[in-house]
Amino acid sequence: MADKGGHPGAPGRAPEAGRPDKVRNVVLVGHSGAGKTTLAEALLAETGTIQRAGRVEEGTTVGDFDEVEVRQQRSVNLAVVPFMAGDVKVNLIDTPGYADFTGDLRAGLRAADAALFVVSAVDGVDGVTRLLWEECAAVGMPRAVVITKIDQQRGDFDEVLATCQDAFGEGVLPCYFPVGEGDRPTALVGLLTQRCFDYSGDGRRECDPDPALLDRIAELRGALIEGIIQESEDESLMERYVGGEEIDVKALIADLETAVARGSFYPVLTTSVPHGDHPGPVIGMRELLEVVTQAFPCPAEHAVPPVTAVKGGPPKAVACDPDGPLVAEVIKTTSDPYVGRISLVRVFSGTLRPDTVVHVSGHGLADRGHEDHDVDERVGALGSPLGKAQRPMASCAAGDICAVAKLTRAETGDTLSDPAAPMLMAPWSMPDPLLPAAIRARSKADEDKLGQALARLVAEDPTLRLENNAETHQLVLWCMGEAHADVLIERLRTRYGVEVERVEPRVPLRETFGGRAEGLGRHVKQSGGHGQYGICQVEVEPLPPGSGLEFVDKIVGGVVPRQFIPSVEKGVRQQMARGVAAGYPLVDLKVTLFDGKAHSVDSSDMAFQAAGALALKDAAAKVPVLLLEPVDEVAVLIADEYVGSVMSDLSARRGRVLGTETVPGGRTLIKAEVPQLEIVRYATDLRSLSQGTGTFSRAFLRYEPLPPQLTDKVAAAERAG
The residue that leads in pLDDT, 661 or 2, is: 661
The amino acid at 105:
L
438, 500 contact by CB (below 8 A): no
Residue 250 has a pLDDT of 87
Whether the pLDDT of residue 345 is over 50: the answer is: yes
Instruction: Give the fold, CATH level 3, of 20-295.
Output: Rossmann fold (3.40.50)
Mind spelling out the 3-state secondary structure of 4-43? CCCCCCCCCCCCCCCCHHHEEEEEEECCCCCCHHHHHHHH
Exposed, middle or buried by CB within 10 Å (0-12, 13-18, 19+), for 720?
Answer: exposed
- Give the mean model confidence (pLDDT) for residues 383-395: 87
| pLDDT above 90 (res 593) | yes
Does residue 526 have a pLDDT over 80? no
With a pLDDT cut of 90, the percent of the chain lying above it is 51
Task: Sketch the domain layout of the chain as residue ranges.
Answer: 20-295, 307-425, 435-502, 510-623, 628-719
Q: Are 221 and 174 in contact (CB under 8 A)?
A: no
pLDDT over 50 (residue 615)? yes
Quick one: average pLDDT of 81-97? 92
pTM of the shown model: 0.86
Which segment of 194-203, 351-360, 565-574, 705-714 scores lowest on mean pLDDT? 705-714
Classify domain 307-425 at the CATH superfamily level: Translation factors (2.40.30.10)
Q: Which CATH architecture has domain 510-623?
A: 2-Layer Sandwich (3.30)
pLDDT band at 102 (very low <50, low <70, confident <90, very high): confident
Give the span between the Cα atoms of 443 and 450, in whole angstroms: 10
The CATH architecture of the domain made up of 628-719 is: 2-Layer Sandwich (3.30)
Average pLDDT, stretch 105-125? Answer: 92
| pLDDT value for 657 | 95
Q: Are 352 and 326 in contact (CB under 8 A)?
A: yes
Q: For residue 354, what pLDDT band results from cuts at 50, 70 and 90?
A: very high
* pLDDT (tens digit per residue) in 53-70: 878 888 888 888 877 877
**Do the domains 435-502 and 628-719 sit in the same CATH topology, yes or no?**
yes
119 pLDDT more than 80: yes
Above 60 in pLDDT, residue 619? yes
Distance (Å, rounded) from C-alpha 628 to C-alpha 220? 65
pLDDT at site 230? 86
Each residue's pLDDT tens digit, 236-246: 777 777 777 78
- pLDDT of res. 715: 67
Q: What is the pLDDT of residue 718?
A: 64
The Cα-based distances of 6 to 188, 246, 262 in angstroms read: 19, 30, 24
- Sheet bearing 266-270, strands edge to edge: 79-85, 88-94, 23-29, 114-120, 143-148, 266-270, 172-174
Q: Range with the lowest mean pLDDT among 270-279, 288-297, 444-453, 482-491? A: 270-279
- Where is pLDDT greater, at 313 or 650? 650
pLDDT above 70 for 1 = no
H or E segment to which residue 3 belongs = none
- Is residue 277 over pLDDT 60? no
Under CATH, to which class is 435-502 assigned?
Answer: alpha beta
| pLDDT tens digits, one per residue of 459-504 | 888 899 999 988 888 999 999 999 999 999 999 998 889 999 999 9
